[in-house]
Amino acid sequence: MNIQFKKGVLELCVLVLLDKQDRYGYELVQTISEQIAISEGTVYPLLRRMTKEDYCTTYLRESNEGPSRKYYRLTDKGRTYLRQLKEDWQAFIHGVHQILREGVHDE
Amino acid sequence: MNREQFIDQLNRSLRRLPNEERLDIVQDFQEHFDIGLEKGKTEEEIAASLGSPAQIAKELLAVHYLDKAEAKTSAGNLFRAAWAAVGLGFFNIVIVLGPFIGLASLLLSGWAMGLSLLVSPLVVLLNLILSPKSFDLFASFASIGLAGLGILMSIGMSYVSRKALKGFVSYLRYNAKLVKGGLKHE
């Protein structure tokens, strides 16, 4: 798949996952890579950028199983951004779907 | 690659970042290894699915330099930001370096013109000193007029430069967002 395209999709996935609940990095990476083939390490630069752009904040929380984990929490600004990205995505998917269907008809 | 090698290479690729930020990034990856090991994976498996530390560092550096260029627009910062963006891919050599050189030369020529107009009275003065007989009233007044034009142009250029640099930084930011390979390169 095209790199630019995947980049935007990855951001959308992270935002959606954080919308439901706060998560730590490893959890985010695993949840996404169960569904899509990604270089897992690139999620961390993305999380840093999103934190710098105030789409999310971070906090540390102790874990029963080991050392404390860095959790990411979506901000209001992040939620607004997510809404907009979702709309863009749906319009895009709808357009592609339309073209695919028409292509099949013509054959 | 095992954990130590991965962290080592990441650390080395990030040596130009401020210490605090570098340590914070490395901490994120240490945490990732810790949790992965708890879940029963080997260091090698975890490192392999993380991908190349050099590529990860490239993206982190690009984000960092853009922030710096935005906070304080100096020629050096801007150049480093452009260079970091170029580092993201060969594709960017055309997309970033082209406009960067174009913009830089446009600004440079504007400034050169403004400044040369500004110093034109000095040329007339110099001429007068070298050959006092050649005093020409028209040249004197014309050069003063030109100097006025030069002042206006310099003021205009400093405004234009600021705007252009700001615009270029946001272009870089947009570009980095667009081009960075967020997922596996195929």
| pLDDT tens per residue, range B49-80 | 999 999 999 888 887 887 777 666 666 777 77
CA nearest to A8, candidates B178, B150, B38: B178
A4 pLDDT higher than 70: no
Q: How far is CA B157 from CA A40, B41, B103, B161, in A?
A: 46, 59, 13, 6
Contact check, Cβ <8 Å, B25/A44 = yes
| Sign of the alpha-carbon torsion through B98, B103, B109, B111 | negative
> What tens-digit pLDDT sequence spans chain B (186 residues)?
999 999 999 999 999 899 999 999 999 999 999 999 998 999 999 999 999 999 999 888 887 887 777 666 666 777 777 777 766 766 666 677 788 888 889 889 988 988 888 888 888 888 878 877 767 777 778 888 888 888 888 889 888 888 888 888 888 777 776 665 443 333
Q: Does B185 touch chain A (CB under 8 A)?
A: yes
Cα separation of B6 and B47, whole Å?
7
Cβ proximity of B150 and B116 under 8 Å: yes
Q: What residues in A contact B28, CB-CB < 8 Å?
A: 25, 44, 47, 70
Contact check, Cβ <8 Å, A3/B185 = yes
- Convert the pLDDT of each residue in A19-63 to its tens digit: 999 999 999 999 999 998 888 998 999 999 899 889 999 999 987
Alpha-carbon gap: B152 to the closest alpha carbon of chain A (Å): 38
Alpha-carbon gap: A55 to the closest alpha carbon of chain B (Å): 15
- Average pLDDT rounded to a whole number, residues A66-84: 92
Give domain limits for chain B.
1-51, 61-186
Contact check, Cβ <8 Å, B183/A37 = yes
CA nearest to A16, candidates A26, A3, A6, A31: A31
For B90, the enclosing helix (H) or strand (E) is none
Alpha-carbon gap: B65 to the closest alpha carbon of chain A (Å): 12
Residues in CB range of A54: below 8 A, 6 or more apart: A75, A77, A78
Beta bridge partners of A73: A57
Domain containing A8 equals 3-106
Number of domains in chain A: 1
* Local structure of B137: helix, strand or coil: helix
Percent of residues, chain A, with pLDDT higher than 70: 91
Contact check, Cβ <8 Å, A70/B31 = yes
Cα separation of B102 and B129, whole Å?
40
Beta bridge partners of A24: A71
Which CATH number does the domain housing residue A82 bear? 1.10.10.10
Which is more confident, A89 or B96? A89
Alpha-carbon gap: B184 to the closest alpha carbon of chain A (Å): 5
Nearest Cβ partner of B32 from A26, A46, A49?
A: A26
